[in-house]
A and B are shown apart, each in its own frame.
Chain A
Amino acid sequence: MIINHPILGPRDAQEFVYLGDANLMGRPDGMTAGIEAFHDYLYNRDNPAGAHRELWYHEQGDRSWLVVTRNTVTHEILKVEMARDVARAGGRSK
């Protein structure tokens, strides 16, 4: 597979390490959220057959975490974003 890195352009997916569903970005706050919230956050998945937002880490590249939107049936990649930008846009900060 080829991932079109927002900064570096097309790179072989071999250079990346896969984590999984981008919903993992939505980590609850441990001081307010309880076990149920964390359980759902960490363990349950939509696992769609189709467009899937997922986290890839460019370990053998620039060390960026990316949010890749990829079709899990055709493997077509629809969108690639810097995870940090997505996280900030989603209101994550410190």
Chain B
Amino acid sequence: MANAWKSLTALGQDTAQVVAIGPYQISERFDVALASLAVRRGQNAAFAMAAQTAGVPLPPASSFAAGEVFSAFWVTPEMWFIEADFASHQDITAHLKPLFGDTASITEQTDAWVRFDVAGTGLAALFERLTNIDLVSLPDGFASRTVIEHLGVYLIKRSATEVVLYGPRSSALGLLHALQVTAKSII
């Protein structure tokens, strides 16, 4: 079936790439399904109920929340991006729609983005050269859209040593390039 289809990562490879520069490890993630989940007008209560039963966390503004099957980060008022394991949720919207029915608008986002997990010590020194987000002073679980070298990306601070980036898939190479040259300049 669909698995007969050969997929290419955003970097144009068969498998996800990992780049190590000094203390930094930049890993492309290719195993996460993504969908946008938005409340339909006037459905907030039912929507919240559905989310609770389905175990879909609905974190407040500027934050990320991990869950059993589904994790989520806030995108815009009344809209979240929902993460799930790709292998089991290739068609993530097909999983979510029955759970929310008419209370939500749900849209496939998986392949709109390239995801890089950036790990290592001294992430602040790296990211202060990439975005205007004040990484050190922000709590773990902080999630926000920001800009890196003209590219709009979502940044999630998972911990002091791990940052998740979602960037536009069509510019995956450019985003990686920006991460690499900057990392090289400070090691």
Contact = CB atoms under 8 A, between A and B. Distances in A.
Interface of A: 7-9, 12, 14-15, 59-64, 82, 84
A12 B75 CA distance: 18
Interface of B: 61-62, 74-77, 132, 144-147, 152
B77 A7 contact: yes
Contacts of A12: 132
A61 B77 contact: no
B50 to A, nearest CB: 23
11 contacts: A8-B62, A14-B147, A15-B145, A59-B152, A60-B146, A60-B152, A61-B146, A62-B76, A62-B77, A63-B76, A84-B77
Contacts of B74: 62
B62 A64 contact: no
Nearest to B150: A60
B17 to A, nearest CB: 26
Nearest to A9: B62
Nearest to B60: A7
Nearest to B145: A61
Contacts of B147: 14-15, 60
A64 B145 contact: no
Contacts of B144: 8, 61
A7 B60 CA distance: 10
A14 B76 CA distance: 18
A62 B146 CA distance: 10
B63 to A, nearest CB: 11
B77 A64 contact: yes
A29 to B, nearest CB: 21
B61 A64 contact: no
